[in-house]
Amino acid sequence: MKTLKKIQTILAFSLVLVVASCTTATEEEKDTRVPVRVQNTAIHTIENNLDFTGVVQPFEEAHIAPAVPARINRIRVDVGDKVSKGQLLVEMDNTQLFQAQVQLDNLKTELQRLDTLLQAGAVTQQAYDQMKTQYEVAKSNIENLATHTQVRSTLDGVITGRYFSDGEMFSGAPGPAGKPAIVSINQIRPVKVLVGVSERFLPQVQKGQSAEVRVDVFPERVFEGRVNKIFPTIDRASGTFRVEIVIDNQDEALRPGMFTRVALSLGEQQALLVPALAVMKQTGSNERFVFVVEDDIARRITVQPGRNFDENLEILSGLQPGQKLVVTGQHNLIEGTEVGISE
């Protein structure tokens, strides 16, 4: 009887050990699962605004100079003066113009004399035509010399550079402006900003689209701009094309050289957004990747990121809507890790 009880005691103890062993094994098996939190990826509607930095530039710029070297008689403007198109800016030495005018007057007199003789039959038509050609050439020369003796503005703007004084000799060599010039003019009403836009937005950028321009000098003010020109070529080094933004600048608050921030509005678009913290970077490269869960197994996926939207990041390729994206615990994962999804 005692032996039977002893055997029963041994069996009961063994059973307890087996159950405990199984429980421990089960617990250990659960511990191998890496706890993660996931989020289903989805498409969102976003405001498609592109942000850039740039520098205010004059809408047009002109470096004013005569076509031929000559002495400067008088410069009628100075830096900061506003000028209008056609306004007289510089008077050059008119000695050549005076000599050409005397020659033209003589040719005119001779042409009138030959015309009288031609009517009387005293000279040939050929002699008359030769004299008329000389007269027309001299007249054209007068018009050309007059243009370069009185140098006028080619646009409305403000004088931004004056490089000579009265009485100096203009030689035609490049000066401080990098080009031959006596004065320089900037048109600052309107002004423009050039920005580089990623080539993937080329179909969406249209002439006339609105843009918001801000400058540090006027932090509370927003200047309204518009797309005025879209350059037709892509810069392969940067993968961008240039866009010209024009601002009316009626009060001339914006000046060339000011640093600007430009927001170009392209309307609304659909985009796949994920938490930015879910996207990791491969050490030593520019590769970006995320983990998704498929049948309780972590799968690593390489993605192409786009723009930041607050705490979210646009994903251009690699992910599909509806996938279970790991948003917490991803740093503990490698390809093929078994995971446990927590709430």
Domain ranges of the chain: 34-46+271-341, 51-58+190-268, 66-181
DSSP assignment string, 222-274? EEEEEEEEE-S--BTTTTEEEEEEEE--TT----TT-EEEEEEEEEEEEEEEE
Q: Are 272 and 42 a contacting pair, CB within 8 Å?
A: yes
CATH code assigned to 34-46+271-341: 2.40.420.20
Residue 20 is predicted with a pLDDT of 53
Residue 100 is predicted with a pLDDT of 75
The β-bridge partners of 191 are: 58, 247
Q: List the pLDDT tens digit at each of the 343 positions of the chain.
A: 455 555 555 555 555 555 555 555 445 555 578 899 999 999 998 877 888 999 999 999 999 998 888 899 999 999 999 999 999 999 988 877 777 778 888 888 888 888 888 787 778 888 888 888 888 887 877 777 777 788 999 999 999 999 999 999 998 888 888 889 999 999 999 999 999 999 988 988 999 999 999 999 999 999 999 999 999 999 999 999 999 999 999 999 999 999 999 999 887 888 899 999 999 998 888 899 999 999 999 999 999 998 888 889 999 999 999 999 999 988 988 898 999 888 6
Residue 225 is predicted with a pLDDT of 95
Tokens of 131: 């004299």
Query: CB atoms < 10 A from the CB of 74, how many?
Result: 12
pTM of the complete model: 0.65
In degrees, rounded to 5, the angle at the alpha carbon of residue 92 between the alpha carbons of residues 141 and 64 is 90
CATH fold of 51-58+190-268, please? Elongation Factor Tu (Ef-tu); domain 3 (2.40.30)
Tokens of 40: 């289903």
The C-alpha atoms of residue 138 and residue 243 are separated, in whole angstroms, by 47
Contacts with 170 (C-beta within 8 Å, 6 or more apart), sequence order:
65, 66, 69, 70, 71, 72, 92, 164, 180, 182
Residue 6 is predicted with a pLDDT of 55
Q: Are 211 and 227 a contacting pair, CB within 8 Å?
A: yes
Element (H, E) at 144: helix 125-149
Residue 186 is predicted with a pLDDT of 96
Residue 97 is predicted with a pLDDT of 72
Residue 11 is predicted with a pLDDT of 52
